[in-house]
Chains A and B, each alone.
Chain A
Amino acid sequence: MYRSNVLVCGGTGCTSSNSLQIVEKLKEELKAKGLDKEVNVITTGCFGLCALGPIMVVYPEGSFYSMVKVEDVPEIVEEHLNKGRIVTRLLYQETVEEDTIKSLNKTAFYEKQKRVALRNCGVIDPEKIDDYIANDGYAALGKVLTEMKPEEVIQTILDSGLRGRGGAGFPTGLKWKFAAGNEADQKYVCCNADEGDPGAFMDRSVLEGDPHVVLEAMAIAGYAIGASKGYIYVRAEYPIAVKRLQIAIDQAHEYGLLGEDIFGTGFNFDIQLRLGAGAFVCGEETALMTSIEGKRGEPRPRPPFPAVKGLYKKPTILNNVETYANIPQIILNGADWFASMGTENSKGTKVFALGGKINHTGLVEVPMGTTLREIVEEIGGGIPNGKKFKAAQTGGPSGGCIPAEHLDVPIDYDNLIAIGSMMGSGGLIVMDEDNCMVDIAKFFLEFTVDESCGKCTPCRLGTKRLLEMLDKITKGQGTLEMLDEMEELCYYIKSNSLCGLGQTAPNPVLSTLRYFKDEYIAHVVDHKCPAGVCKELLEFNIEKDKCFGCGMCAKQCPAGAISVTDYTAPGKKKPAYEIDHAKCIKCGACIDTCKFKAIYKG
């Protein structure tokens, strides 16, 4: 028994800011003080509040230390762990109340959250199977194998209303039912951990923080559809996740929870890792399976659907990491429990990766039906630097931008599609008034042009043509007719592309055209970029009446574009400067140097 437990986040965000050195220093200090038998140090998965990393929580007090530095460790050990005096200076300030500290679950960031898929993240040591088992781990697999028939498992998942968390939202139980109904000598269970949406990292956090939940759920799926083999297709760019998954697989084998004759029931199930090598299209199910086979990850037409002919032409199911993370809880607590959360057609919770211009970047899990306003303003803590909310981008390169007028829409699969975006895997990037929506649309198109596999023409050429038009618009060479042409091309690409990548690639353009048409018009008619992002449309000017004539800007200018005039503003001693637009390279160095804020762009 330990009298104190110190949890340190070992997720990617926190380890990138040295949390593992903090763990080492902690162990070293505790040992030096002879406290290593009394205080336990645990490296956990992601707590979600990545903006405040590295994070350290000390139990039983529940003290939440944020932005901890290696240098802070001796003080925490001596004061808190040795003498029992919490170092309030280093706590997350929202948890500090006059003479006491507030529980983490009562802070704005955590209070509205409901953690199902993330329930073990930041709680257990992901490299210890005993931690997982102690928190009901593998109990669902035991229940399924010893008390339920495969049909009952599928019925439970169907009744729960769980829909795929990877993007399209297809009912999970239905997928399983189709695969179960097809006879074959071999079937496969696959897990899509190729989280390619830029800005989404919930799957990574589950794999890093609770890898066993995925293994358990895949074994349950294997039992339900009659498969004995599973593959996890995980991004090679997630080294911590890969390492912990491999540890988890080895431990599960050692405990007899994977392999032959699991729980003595005669059920066999084995899981292999396959590393993805960086191709966004491999998030598409048929492309992912082709990639597991070791080939170029190109999609193929459906039907036949994977439930009939999938991996190695055998019946296969493919689910996303977050989908799997819900399964054991549904089995243990029942379909009704799960279906009691969420909206009519979208049950349960959803994890969002909050990023961009928001105070609390990190991972949040909320019941379906929570409004965007609650997520952005309450949980996310609003926009930094007093800027105004402009749009939230969901669904990554397949999704759209949601403007302020729709902040109060309850988020679920169907509502997001109705307002021109989609759930996607759950990336949620907040943008403020400094982001140009035409530039954002161009950014996503650059991504899809890069990632289009090239197999079908509408996607390969269509996205390229779209990007060319967007490029012209951001350079002030667009026309109003071009906007109409773009829209027409968007619908053409959507209806004619082979796979989900092409069918959704135009969404960023369509949604920005729908909600931010005035910005497009400002670019093509007035040749201005209202957000001040598109360089070719910017002009830098000096407000002569504010200029003190110090000449700092002229010294900084790398292009020699700034020179002195013969105009001296009233009340100033030296003549003002001006910018020669023909020479200006729009680097912005002058704005940064001017102490009097006399230079503006627009």
Chain B
Amino acid sequence: MQKKISSLPFQGTPEQEAQLKEVILKHKDDPGAVMPVLQEAQEIYGYLPLEVQTMIADGLNVPVDEVYGVSTFYSQFALSPKGKYHISVCLGTACYVKGSGDVLNKLSEELGIEAEECTMDGQFSLTACRCIGACGLAPVMTVNDDVYGRLTVDQVPGILKKYQEA
């Protein structure tokens, strides 16, 4: 999937930087440390701005292109921030044949954004994800940690409303 690189200015705090340094120190001598560090860095910052990737490269003493190569290779790593409510629609086969593509289109229409984008107010971000393994509930989407299964297009506005009013 094409990665969207955020154009928002980097807003990391000194606390976050201290946490990141701790993570780097913990993994410094492990072989193959880049991936686990990126995973933990994403937990800290919510996404992986270039500034953070540079810090990781310096900290682990590897070229920044290697870090960037890894962060752009795997779909789990986000280069742009997520919304307060992050919506993932499963486009695995089981969900797709049961109409998850229509659910994604409806969300896109309701929110006025395409997949892999975030609304201007930072409330919602939308992504199409790979199979999350809940095929028994197809079609499925998740909003942060809430799972919605056996979805129909008609349910979409109601679900969004719940978060808009929260």
Expressed in whole angstroms, the Cα–Cα distance for A204 and B38 within the complex equals: 24
User: CB of B147 within 8 A of chain A?
Assistant: yes
Does A396 have its Cβ within 8 Å of any Cβ on chain B?
Answer: yes
Contact of A13 with B70 in the complex, beta carbons under 8 Å: no
Q: Is B157 an interface position by the 8 A CB rule?
A: no
Measured in the bound complex, the distance between the Cα atoms of B31 and A225 in whole Å is 23
In the complex, what distance in Å separates the CA atom of A295 from the CA atom of B51? 20
- Asked if A252 is an interface residue, CB under 8 A from chain B, the answer is no
B158 within 8 A of A: no
A525 within 8 A of B: no
Chain A residue, CB-CB nearest to B70 = A296
For B34, the chain A residues whose CB sits under 8 A away are 294-295
Q: Could you tell me if A291 and B35 are in contact, using CB atoms closer than 8 angstroms? A: yes
Say how far A558's CB is from chain B's closest CB, in angstroms. Answer: 10
The number of residues on chain A lying at the interface, defined by a beta carbon within 8 Å of a beta carbon of chain B, is 50
Measured CA separation A393–B96 after assembly (Å): 13
A130 at the interface (CB under 8 A from B): no
A334 at the B interface (CB under 8 A): no
Closest residue of B by beta carbon distance from A46: B136
Q: How far is the CB of A359 from chain B (nearest CB, A)?
A: 11
B117-158, CB < 8 A from A:
129-138, 140, 147, 149
Closest residue on chain A to residue B101 by CB atoms: A443
> Contact partner of A237 among B39, B98, B130, B136, CB < 8 A?
B130
Report yes or no: A53 in contact with B92, Cβ–Cβ below 8 A: no
Contact present for B133 and A12 (CB under 8 Å) = yes
Rounded to whole angstroms, the CA-CA distance of A298 and B135 in the bound complex is: 28
* CA A367 to CA B90, docked complex, whole Å: 31
A356 to B73, CA, bound (A): 29
**A296 and B69 contact, CB distance less than 8 A:** yes
Q: Which of B4-12, B14-22, B74-82 contacts A (4 or more CB under 8 A)?
A: B74-82
Q: Indicate if B1 sits at the interface (CB-CB under 8 A).
A: yes
Quick one: which of B65-106 are within 8 Å of A by CB?
Answer: 66, 69-70, 73-77, 91-94, 96-98
User: Is A157 an interface residue, CB under 8 A from the partner?
Assistant: no
A453-B1 in contact (CB<8A)? no
List B contacts of A197 (CB < 8 A). 131
Also in contact, A13 and B136, with CB within 8 A (given A277-B39, A429-B97): yes
- Minimum CB distance partner of A202 in chain B: B133
List of B residues within 8 angstroms of A277 by Cβ:
35, 38-39, 74-77
Question: In whole Å, how far is B134's beta carbon from the nearest beta carbon of chain A?
Answer: 5
Tell me the minimal C-beta distance from A284 to chain B in angstroms.
14
Task: Report B-chain residues with C-beta under 8 Å of the C-beta of A278.
Answer: 74-76, 130
Query: Closest Cβ of chain B: how far from A426's Cβ, in Å?
Result: 12
Within 8 Å by CB of A16, from B31, B94, B137, lies B137
Closest-CB distance, B103 to chain A (whole angstroms): 14
Q: Are A16 and B131 in contact (CB under 8 A)?
A: no
CA distance A497 to B144 in the complex (A): 38
Is A51 touching B136 in the complex (CB atoms < 8 A)?
Answer: yes
Q: Tell me the complex Cα distance, A294–B147, Å.
A: 31
Q: Does B33 belong to the interface (CB within 8 Å)?
A: yes
Taken together as a complex, chains A and B put the C-alpha atoms of A277 and B137 apart, in Å, by 24
In the complex, which residues of chain B have a beta carbon less than 8 angstroms from the beta carbon of A506?
none
Distance, CA A296 to CA B132, complexed state (A): 22
Q: Which of A419-459 contact B (CB under 8 A)?
A: 427, 429, 431, 435, 440, 443-444, 450, 453
A296–B133 contact, CB under 8 A? no
Q: Which residues of A contact B59 (CB under 8 A)?
A: none
Contact partners of B131 in chain A: CB under 8 A:
196-201
Cβ of B112 under 8 Å from chain A: no
Chain B residues whose CB sits within 8 angstroms of the CB of A396 once the complex forms: 93
Which residues of chain B are near A122, meaning CB under 8 Å?
Answer: none
Are A297 and B74 in touch, CB under 8 angstroms?
Answer: yes
Whether the Cβ atoms of B39 and A362 lie closer than 8 Å is: no
Q: How far is the CB of B26 from chain A (nearest CB, A)?
A: 14
Does A177 count as interface, using CB distance less than 8 angstroms?
A: no
Which residues from chain B sit less than 8 Å from chain A, CB to CB? Answer: 1, 31-36, 38-39, 66, 69-70, 73-77, 91-94, 96-98, 129-138, 140, 147, 149
The 8 closest A-B pairs by CB, nearest first: A50-B136, A294-B32, A355-B94, A198-B92, A277-B74, A278-B75, A16-B147, A277-B76
- Listed in ascending order, the chain A residues whose CB lies under 8 Å from chain B are 12-13, 16-17, 50-51, 53, 195-201, 204, 236-238, 274-280, 291-297, 312, 353, 355-357, 361-362, 393, 396, 427, 429, 431, 435, 440, 443-444, 450, 453
Given contacts A294-B31, A355-B93, 19 further A-B contacts (CB under 8 A): A13-B136, A16-B149, A50-B137, A200-B131, A236-B76, A274-B32, A277-B76, A278-B74, A279-B75, A292-B32, A293-B31, A294-B33, A295-B32, A295-B66, A297-B73, A355-B138, A393-B93, A427-B94, A429-B97
